[in-house]
C-alpha cells in the first residue's frame, strides 16, 4: 500500500466520522426528545462536506473513473441536510418550534447519505 492509498483511506475515515458526529448528535437530541439542531450537527456536516470534497478530487490511483452520479446525489442530500439544519437553527433563535418532520428528516437523510458512502 503506498502513501496516497493510505492518505485516501484516512480521508474516507474522516468523512465517515463526520457523518457519525452528525448522526450521533442527532440521535442524542432524538433520545432526549429535544427536536432541535445543535452546533455539533453543523460541525459534523462541515467535516463530512470537506472530507467529501477532498475525496471527489482525482487521486490518480488507477482505481477507475470517479462516480459523478454518486458524488452529485450525495452533494444534493448534504445540501438538503444543511438547509434543514439551518432552518431549524433559525427557528430556534426566533423562539418558534421546529416541525418534528424537519428534525426526523435530518436523521433519515444523514443515514441515507452515510449508507450511500458505504454501500454504493
Distance separating alpha carbons of residues 26 and 33, to the nearest angstrom: 10
DSSP 32: T
Distance separating alpha carbons of residues 47 and 116, to the nearest angstrom: 17
| Cα distance from N-terminal residue to C-terminal residue, the chain | 23
Distance separating alpha carbons of residues 75 and 117, to the nearest angstrom: 11
Distance separating alpha carbons of residues 93 and 87, to the nearest angstrom: 10
Confidence of residue 19 (pLDDT cuts 50, 70, 90): very high
pLDDT at position 63: 62
Per-residue model confidence as pLDDT tens digits over 82-100: 999 999 999 999 998 888 9
Per-residue model confidence as pLDDT tens digits over 103-113: 999 999 999 99
Amino acid at each position: 500500500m503506498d502513501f496516497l492509498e493510505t492518505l485516501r483511506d484516512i480521508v474516507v475515515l474522516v468523512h465517515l466520522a463526520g457523518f457519525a458526529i452528525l448522526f450521533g448528535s442527532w440521535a442524542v437530541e432524538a433520545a432526549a426528545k429535544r427536536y432541535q439542531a445543535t452546533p455539533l450537527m453543523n460541525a459534523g456536516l462541515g467535516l463530512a462536506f470537506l472530507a467529501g470534497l477532498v475525496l471527489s478530487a482525482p487521486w490518480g490511483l488507477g482505481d477507475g473513473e470517479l462516480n459523478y452520479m454518486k458524488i452529485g446525489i450525495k452533494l444534493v442530500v448534504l445540501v438538503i441536510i444543511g438547509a434543514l439544519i439551518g432552518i431549524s437553527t433559525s427557528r430556534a433563535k426566533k423562539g418558534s418550534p421546529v416541525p418534528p418532520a424537519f428534525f426526523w428528516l435530518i436523521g433519515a437523510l444523514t443515514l441515507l447519505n452515510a449508507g450511500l458512502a458505504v454501500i454504493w
